[in-house]
Amino acid sequence: MNKITLFLLFLLTSLVCFGQSPRQIFQETINETDLRKHLSYIASDELGGRDTGSEGQKKAADYITNHLIALGISPIVKNQDGKMGYEQSIELYKNGWKDSYVVINGKKKVFFNDYFPVGMINIPVEKEIETVFIGYGIQNETTNDFHKKDLKGKAVIFIENEAKNKNGKYISSNADNSDWVGSSGLKKKQKIAADLGADYIFVISLADSDQFKTLNAERKAVLSRFNRMAIEKSKTDNSTANTTLPTFIISKKMASEMLGINQKKLDAFVESPSETLKTKKSTIKIKSERGEETVQTSNVMGFLEGTDKKDEVVIISAHYDHVGIDEKGRIYNGADDDGSGTCALLELAEAYSKAKAAGNGPRRSILFLWVTGEEKGLLGSKYYTDINPIIPLDKTVCDLNIDMIGRIDKKHETNENYVYLIGSDKLSSELHNISENVNKETINFDLDYEFNDPKDPNRFYYRSDHYNFAKNKIPVIFYFTGVHEDYHKPGDDVEKILFSKYSKITQLVFATSWELANRNDRIIVDSNKP
Ligand SMILES: [Zn+2]
């Protein structure tokens, strides 16, 4: 027996004796302290909620990149200058308002400040237009504000709702109710103006200046939800977006400038509209252009080359964007969503780089993939799979995707040792079995398959980045601990993360990926479950 054999025998017995396989050794490098350190930065206010394409998201990308460099994990993206890098840059198209203003007497009024639109109004080319004031814009048996007014081709200005008389009753009906208030009242007024040939409507808001500020912010937030981001330029023509008469809500201040009167006179008229209000005829300019702008963002990735099966790749993914800051200035830190997945990947990369440095690198390669634009419709993962898969999809063994693993949901309030698995059996029964066995041998959590049920109304299988792999017949597992009261709220903060369970689930992902990367045969795609 030579010395080397003796040494190997010693090594083997010591492994058996102490029970520590290389997998166990490196799995245990994943710990709460590191996760907390990373997440305290990723989910800090400094990153401003990591909105897609924002400065904060770029800071997160830099942090990930620096971590990969420090670990010695290879770049795999070829940049335009021919150099290798960690970021796959992506140009997204975002539709929204572009150049929008009203000019009164040479003074430009500010969109979503002095006034705001009702709906998605598109006036792509500046229009010059005459205005007509018609008081409250009421028309019935006793009152007719439209009488003898020429509205054809003009911008009609009226006050919202209806005034009340001294007895607190609505003037036109002398009753407690009026058909001319609220959104149905506005619709009636819009209809009459449209029938009389008006081109635009300006509604004078009765809100005071603070209330008007709030209204602007709320409308801006509501309407911006319709501003979609996409990978490709929109094919629809924005110039035909108007379906009703373009209507804007304006402040009393802006209204008095339009009418060429002192605001006090307007206030007096609002109170008692029976008095006549002498207004000046004015011509205004208006533009309210909708269109697309580009948003620069990137997927970040690091590559750990395998040994004898290096052409085959296991992907571990998480999205590193979140939803940013709301109209009230509140930062959505997204500690759980998906700061937890983002930082889990940082720890996984570290564990693998240590294994490789110790001569225990995996047989298959590992791609650590931080995707962008998840919150905007899984755009970063879609870009990766549909437009530029850095690793050919047929060489991609599976995608283990982590999205929210740091909290507990209502169902598991009494037991934090669980994780929802979604998708594991859909394409490969082998993957499902491996995942089950590895869990039993390692953290032994309750694996909850509630959301894997195709009848589950939440449809989570379609709602995170793994789906873009699954639709290409690449087996996936989605790791998830469920929604909670801070989901997509400003309270999704690092203080509420349960680091012990979070760390264990990260270890489970490590152990599962380790088996997938090291086993003799690549897992087989043999099922096609809905
Ligand atoms: Zn998420």
Q: What is the DSSP string of 255-266?
A: HHHHHTS-HHHH
In the block, residue with structure tokens 């090291």: 518
Structure confidence at residue 467 as a pLDDT band (50, 70, 90): very high
The answer to whether 401 and 476 have CB atoms below 8 angstroms apart is yes
> Taking the chain, what is the end-to-end CA distance rounded to the nearest angstrom?
57
The answer to whether 201 and 250 have CB atoms below 8 angstroms apart is no
User: Distance between CA 530 and CA 523 in Å, rounded?
Assistant: 19
| Bridge partners of residue 175, in order along the sequence | 170
User: Per-residue pLDDT for 15 more than 60?
Assistant: no
Identify the pLDDT of residue 237. Answer: 52
User: Distance between CA 170 and CA 166 in Å, rounded?
Assistant: 9
Q: What is the largest CA-CA distance in the chain?
A: 115
CA of 317 from ligand 1 middle (Å) equals: 11
CA of 68 from ligand 1 middle (Å) equals: 22
Structure confidence at residue 13 as a pLDDT band (50, 70, 90): very low
Structure confidence at residue 242 as a pLDDT band (50, 70, 90): low
User: Per-residue pLDDT for 235 more than 80?
Assistant: no
Tell me how long the chain is: 530
pLDDT mean over 273-295: 88
pLDDT mean over 3-15: 50
Identify the pLDDT of residue 464. Answer: 95
Q: Cα 397 from chain centroid?
A: 28
Identify the pLDDT of residue 97. Answer: 85
CA of 388 from ligand 1 middle (Å) equals: 22
User: Distance between CA 294 and CA 91 in Å, rounded?
Assistant: 6
User: Per-residue pLDDT for 436 more than 90?
Assistant: yes
User: Per-residue pLDDT for 222 more than 90?
Assistant: no
Structure confidence at residue 386 as a pLDDT band (50, 70, 90): very high
Q: Which residues lie below 8 Å from residue 62, measured CB to CB, with a gap of 6+?
A: none
User: Per-residue pLDDT for 189 more than 50?
Assistant: yes
CA of 147 from ligand 1 middle (Å) equals: 57
Q: 364: buried, middle or exposed (CB in 10 Å: 19+, 13-18, 0-12)?
A: buried
C-alpha closest to that of 90 among 383, 288, 341, 482:
383
In the block, residue with structure tokens 């009609």: 156
Q: Reduced to 3 states, what is the DSSP secondary structure of residue 251?
A: coil
pLDDT mean over 260-287: 90
User: Per-residue pLDDT for 81 more than 50?
Assistant: yes
Which of 64-73, 220-229, 351-360, 389-398 is least confident? 220-229
Helices 499-518 and 341-357: crossing angle in degrees, nearest 10, is 50
CA of 318 from ligand 1 middle (Å) equals: 8
CA of 406 from ligand 1 middle (Å) equals: 12
Q: 483: buried, middle or exposed (CB in 10 Å: 19+, 13-18, 0-12)?
A: middle
User: Per-residue pLDDT for 337 more than 90?
Assistant: yes
pLDDT mean over 209-229: 85
CA of 145 from ligand 1 middle (Å) equals: 53
- Which pTM was predicted? 0.79
pLDDT mean over 303-317: 98
Structure confidence at residue 17 as a pLDDT band (50, 70, 90): very low
Identify the pLDDT of residue 3. Answer: 52
C-alpha closest to that of 207 among 198, 199, 217:
217
CA of 415 from ligand 1 middle (Å) equals: 23
User: Distance between CA 373 and CA 320 in Å, rounded?
Assistant: 8
User: Per-residue pLDDT for 6 more than 60?
Assistant: no
DSSP character at residue 51: B
CA of 465 from ligand 1 middle (Å) equals: 9
Identify the pLDDT of residue 224. Answer: 78
User: Distance between CA 333 and CA 48 in Å, rounded?
Assistant: 7
In the block, residue with structure tokens 């963002």: 297
pLDDT mean over 396-420: 97
Q: Which parts of 116-247 fold into alpha helices (H)?
A: 182-195, 209-224
User: Distance between CA 66 and CA 298 in Å, rounded?
Assistant: 15
**Strand 396-402 to strand 155-159: parallel, antiparallel, or no bridges (unpaired)?**
unpaired
pLDDT tens, position by position, 19-45: 789 999 999 999 999 999 999 999 999
CA of 223 from ligand 1 middle (Å) equals: 23
User: Per-residue pLDDT for 303 more than 60?
Assistant: yes
- Give the mean pLDDT of the chain: 92
Identify the pLDDT of residue 16. Answer: 47
Structure confidence at residue 227 as a pLDDT band (50, 70, 90): confident
CA of 431 from ligand 1 middle (Å) equals: 23
User: Distance between CA 65 and CA 299 in Å, rounded?
Assistant: 11
**Strand 364-371 to strand 309-319: parallel, antiparallel, or no bridges (unpaired)?**
parallel
User: Distance between CA 312 and CA 139 in Å, rounded?
Assistant: 74
Structure confidence at residue 479 as a pLDDT band (50, 70, 90): very high
Q: Which residues lie below 8 Å from residue 135, measured CB to CB, with a gap of 6+?
A: 145, 158, 159, 269, 273, 277
The answer to whether 189 and 180 have CB atoms below 8 angstroms apart is yes
The answer to whether 429 and 527 have CB atoms below 8 angstroms apart is yes
Q: Which residues lie below 8 Å from residue 50, measured CB to CB, with a gap of 6+?
A: 42, 56, 57, 60, 320, 321, 322, 324, 334
Which of 241-250, 339-348, 441-450 is least confident? 241-250
Which of 319-333, 350-364, 403-417 is least confident? 319-333
User: Distance between CA 213 and CA 209 in Å, rounded?
Assistant: 6
User: Per-residue pLDDT for 378 more than 70?
Assistant: yes
CA of 437 from ligand 1 middle (Å) equals: 27
